[in-house]
């Protein structure tokens, strides 16, 4: 069987060699210098090396036979001269192949542009041509060759020898690909399809195709110009370097195989149709320099393509590692973000292994990893195209589902998992599962909020090993959903629809009855009023504060736009939650919102908590300062509750301080509260700050506060919060 296979290969190689050796000799580019013809690239050498790469030792006998027949037919040599010529060409290639195999191993003929390329370049691209030329000169010294080929065996000038040696190097380095890739594709249709798919189609479809077609068009135009026999000095003198620049640009875009083949074709066209390309080059010195440039660029291009390919491989490897959890080997949150961008419409499910944390304390971390892998392997067969399982830290997994009936599919998955046990070191573990899900879009900001909400909801679901829905419509919420989850549903619906969020205002006035209003908010859901003490903690817990605050500001700016005022005084104050100020670009967004509606920033006071005003968070402080620099007045809310000290008060950058209500409620009965308020007012006077007192409910409080130096008062005595309308608003 092995003999038949070798015989078949040898016969195929012989047929190819009989056809291609004469053909390669015929298409070898020539030029005339001082009346003598010289090869610019002797392509039979390229064919021989390519055949050895394809067939290995099975190509040696066919090469000997075909070379002998070709040279005997065209050169009319004596038998001794013919044997010497064939020996000089083939033996160095065979010996260098054996040496290359010794260094690279049994697969030395595979992946010419991959590992071991430098060894192949040295032995097959330089040592083999040098050995061929050395043997030819030795043979010419002892054997008489016909005048037609005598110059190649030593009967020539020194520069002719240099050019002749360079043509063999060019044939080995550049033009081996001209025969290797077409022959492999001809002999193996699978290789042809793989070459087309991996080396051509990937660059000519999708976003890469414009660059690819443009590059190919430039190459075609440049080759037409350079290969035309116009005899213009500018063509040979100035346009030739452009082709090297063009191929250098192509290296970063195309693969090494396609680049090697395109460069071989381009070099053959340039050297074959060289009337325009070599115009003005009529000396061996200039021709030698041109061939040196071709050879040097070929080596550089081969190494650059290999390095770029290696870099691309490393980038793909690093990208894969960045998208994969190192312990479970499951896609992580970064992978989820990319997946959501690829599939904008889908349902995100959070699967909680509720007792995994408890079990991992007993069995160790590897048990946790093993369980997550086993659960993933059980879920994967149930997934469709575009669906995937993602790793979450802790005791949860994320499942991205597409299509309809998500709730039924997820319930089936949970029931299936709850009915199975996981084996760990001869112990059968019973894992308890619960899940939650929500329809998502491709908004990454919304995605991270949804993850926190789903985590909370899945924890609730795991208590009954059920599936709960985090949906924007209340009628789809399970009847067993807890009150907190139901409240979260209502808040989400309110934020999506915007109308349920209603603005209220409460007056803040001075002793003369003048002042501004603080904006408060309520959620009215199905005629039910939800107060801030209920919804604000949920908003903060589920990271909805930025979205909520921006909605409040949007409604307020719209009101100010519809009800402008000639007064330059502040008309309203708005409280921003701490997490809102932690967003890097929130100040720019607020300023842009006011600019969009052409509402002056001086009409609104931004209230921040004492914690934020004296925070060590660089982001919060930058946002506060940016808002102040753009015309907003800054008020410090809940002043005096613990974050202020004299050092911080000394460097305080604000306009208003609001004394916390805990110092106001008992100010008429507690002897210490007036002293605290008085000290705050004295400090504010020194810093030229306005002081506001909250929770003012009695006439005695009002009189005492004005006496102590408080500028503005706020509370039920002054006015209760009322809906913000044009009728009840007093500017």
Average pLDDT, integer, range 102-119: 87
pLDDT at 615: 66
Q: What's the pLDDT tens digit per position in 298-321?
A: 999 888 888 887 888 788 888 888
CATH 3.20.20.450, the chain: domain bounds: 491-723
Q: What's the pLDDT tens digit per position in 639-689?
A: 877 655 556 666 667 899 998 888 899 899 988 999 989 988 998 888 889
Q: What's the pLDDT tens digit per position in 320-378?
A: 888 888 888 899 988 888 888 888 788 889 998 888 887 887 778 888 889 999 999 99
pLDDT at 31: 79
What Å distances lie between residue 341 and 322, 324, 573, CA to CA?
A: 17, 17, 38
Distance, CA of 26 to CA of 20 (rounded, Å): 9
Q: Where are the beta strands (DSSP E) in 27-66?
A: 30-33, 36-39
How much of the chain exceeds pLDDT 90, in percent? 38
State the pLDDT confidence band at 88, using cuts at 50, 70 and 90: very high
| 237 vs 14: which has the higher pLDDT | 14
Average pLDDT, integer, range 563-585: 85
Place of tokens 């020996």: 87
Residue 523 has pLDDT above 50, yes or no: yes
Nearest partner of 45 among 2, 93, 116, 10, judged by Cα: 93
What Å distances lie between residue 328 and 336, 357, 360, 422, 462, CA to CA?
A: 15, 16, 15, 16, 22
- Beta-carbon contacts of residue 58 (< 8 Å; ≥ 6 apart): 6, 9, 10, 13
DSSP 645-698: -HHHHHT---SEEEE-GGGTTTTTT-SHHHHHHHHHHHHHHHHT-EEEE----S
Strand partners, 469: 437
Distance, CA of 673 to CA of 627 (rounded, Å): 33
**Exposed (0-12), middle (13-18) or buried (19+): which is 281, by Cβ within 10 Å?**
middle
Average pLDDT, integer, range 11-23: 93
Distance, CA of 578 to CA of 580 (rounded, Å): 5
Nearest partner of 541 among 495, 584, 577, judged by Cα: 577
What 3-state class would DSSP assign to 384? coil
What Å distances lie between residue 492 and 446, 471, 543, 603, CA to CA?
A: 11, 8, 12, 30
Average pLDDT, the chain: 85
State the pLDDT confidence band at 155, using cuts at 50, 70 and 90: confident
| Burial per residue of 12-29, b for 16 or more beta-carbon CB atoms within 10 angstroms, e otherwise | bbbebbeebbbebbeebb
Identify whether the C-beta of residue 488 lies closer than 8 Å to the C-beta of residue 542. yes
Average pLDDT, integer, range 449-466: 76
As a CATH number, domain 491-723 is 3.20.20.450
What 3-state class would DSSP assign to 479? coil
pLDDT at 476: 40
What Å distances lie between residue 458 and 228, 305, 400, 426, CA to CA?
A: 73, 50, 15, 30
pLDDT at 616: 62
Distance, CA of 179 to CA of 261 (rounded, Å): 9
Identify whether the C-beta of residue 507 lies closer than 8 Å to the C-beta of residue 496. no
Identify whether the C-beta of residue 625 lies closer than 8 Å to the C-beta of residue 641. no
pLDDT at 707: 92
Range picked from 397-401, 415-419, 615-619 for highest mean pLDDT: 397-401
pLDDT at 477: 39
Long-range contact list for 688-691, CB < 8 A, 24+ apart?
Answer: 689/652, 689/654, 689/655, 689/656, 689/657, 690/655, 690/656, 690/657, 691/656, 691/657, 691/658, 691/659
pLDDT at 726: 60
CA angle, 258 then 262 then 267, to 5°: 150
**C-alpha of 146 from chain center:** 65
pLDDT at 327: 86
Please name the CATH architecture into which domain 333-472 falls: 2-Layer Sandwich (3.30)
CATH 3.30.70.270, the chain: domain bounds: 333-472
Place of tokens 């995937």: 388
Least confident of 10-14, 126-130, 459-463, 470-474: 470-474
Nearest partner of 681 among 703, 706, 709, 660, judged by Cα: 709
What are the tokens at 27? 């298409």
What Å distances lie between residue 360 and 332, 350, 426, CA to CA?
A: 21, 20, 16
| 620 vs 174: which has the higher pLDDT | 174
How much of the chain exceeds pLDDT 70, in percent? 90
What 3-state class would DSSP assign to 391? strand
What 3-state class would DSSP assign to 216? helix
């Amino acid at each position: 069987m092995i003999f038949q296979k070798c015989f078949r290969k040898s016969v195929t190689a012989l047929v190819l060699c009989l056809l291609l050796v004469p053909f390669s000799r015929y298409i070898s580019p020539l030029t005339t210098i001082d009346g003598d013809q010289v090869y610019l690239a002797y392509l039979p050498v390229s064919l021989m090396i390519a055949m050895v790469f394809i067939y290995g030792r099975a190509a040696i006998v066919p090469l000997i036979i075909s070379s002998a027949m070709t040279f005997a037919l065209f050169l009319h040599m004596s038998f001794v001269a013919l044997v010497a010529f064939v020996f000089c060409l083939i033996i160095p290639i065979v010996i260098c192949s054996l040496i290359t195999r010794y260094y690279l191993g049994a697969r030395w003929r595979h992946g010419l542009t991959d590992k071991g390329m430098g060894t192949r370049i040295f032995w097959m691209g330089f040592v083999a041509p040098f050995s061929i030329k050395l043997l030819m000169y030795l043979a010419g010294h002892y054997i008489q060759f016909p005048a037609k080929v005598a110059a190649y065996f030593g009967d020539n000038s020194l520069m002719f020898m240099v050019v002749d040696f360079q043509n063999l190097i060019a044939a080995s380095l550049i033009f081996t690909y001209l025969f290797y890739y077409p022959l492999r594709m001809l002999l193996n249709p699978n290789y042809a399809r793989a070459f087309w798919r991996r080396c051509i189609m990937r660059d000519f479809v999708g976003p890469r195709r414009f660059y690819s077609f443009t590059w190919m068009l430039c190459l075609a135009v440049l080759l037409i110009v350079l290969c035309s026999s116009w005899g213009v000095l500018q063509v040979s003198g100035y346009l030739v370097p452009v082709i090297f620049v063009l191929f250098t640009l192509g290296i970063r875009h195309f693969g090494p195989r396609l680049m090697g083949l395109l460069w071989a074709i381009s070099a053959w066209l340039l050297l074959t149709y060289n009337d325009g390309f070599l115009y003005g080059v009529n000396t061996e010195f200039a021709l030698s320099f041109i061939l040196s440039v071709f050879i040097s660029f070929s080596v550089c291009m081969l190494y650059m393509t290999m390095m770029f390919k290696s870099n691309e491989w490393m980038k793909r490897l690093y990208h894969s590692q960045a998208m994969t959890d190192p312990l479970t080997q499951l896609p992580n949150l970064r992978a989820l973000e990319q997946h959501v961008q690829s599939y904008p419409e889908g349902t995100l499910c959070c699967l909680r292994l509720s007792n995994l944390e408890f079990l991992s304390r007993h069995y160790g971390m590897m048990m946790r990893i093993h369980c997550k892998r086993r659960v993933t392997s059980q879920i994967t067969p149930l997934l469709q195209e575009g669906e995937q399982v993602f790793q979450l830290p802790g005791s949860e997994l994320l499942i991205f589902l597409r299509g309809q009936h998500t709730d039924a599919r997820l319930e089936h998955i949970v029931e299936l998992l709850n009915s199975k046990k996981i084996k760990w070191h001869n112990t059968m573990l019973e894992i308890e599962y619960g899940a939650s899900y929500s329809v998502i879009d491709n908004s990454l900001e919304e995605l991270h909020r949804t993850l926190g909400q789903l985590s909370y909801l899945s924890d609730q679901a795991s208590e009954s090993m059920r599936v709960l829905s985090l949906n924007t419509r209340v009628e789809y919420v399970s009847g067993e959903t807890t009150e907190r989850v139901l409240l979260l549903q209502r808040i989400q619906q309110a934020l999506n629809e915007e109308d349920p969020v209603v603005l209220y205002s409460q007056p803040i006035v001075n002793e003369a009855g003048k002042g501004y209003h603080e904006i408060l908010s309520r959620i009215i859901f199905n005629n039910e009023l939800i107060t801030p003490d209920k919804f604000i903690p949920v908003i903060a817990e589920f990271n909805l504060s930025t979205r909520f605050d921006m909605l409040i500001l949007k409604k307020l700016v719209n009101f100010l736009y519809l009800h402008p005022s000639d007064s330059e005084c502040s008309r309203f104050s708005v409280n921003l939650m701490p997490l809102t100020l932690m967003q890097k670009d929130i100040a720019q967004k607020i300023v842009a919102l006011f600019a969009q509606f052409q509402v002056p920033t001086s009409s609104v006071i931004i209230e921040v908590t004492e914690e934020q005003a004296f925070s060590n968070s660089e982001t919060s402080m930058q946002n506060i300062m940016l808002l102040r620099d753009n015309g907003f007045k800054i008020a410090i809310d809940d002043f005096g509750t613990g974050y202020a000290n004299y050092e911080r008060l000394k460097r305080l950058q604000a306009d208003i301080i609001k004394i916390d209500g805990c110092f106001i409620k008992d100010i008429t009965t507690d002897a210490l509260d007036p002293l605290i308020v008085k000290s705050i007012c004295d400090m504010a006077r020194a810093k030229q700050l306005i002081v506001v007192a909250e929770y003012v409910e009695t006439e005695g409080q009002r009189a005492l506060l004005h006496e102590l130096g408080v500028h503005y008062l706020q509370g039920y005595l002054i006015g209760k919060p009322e809906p913000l309308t044009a009728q009840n608003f007093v500017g």
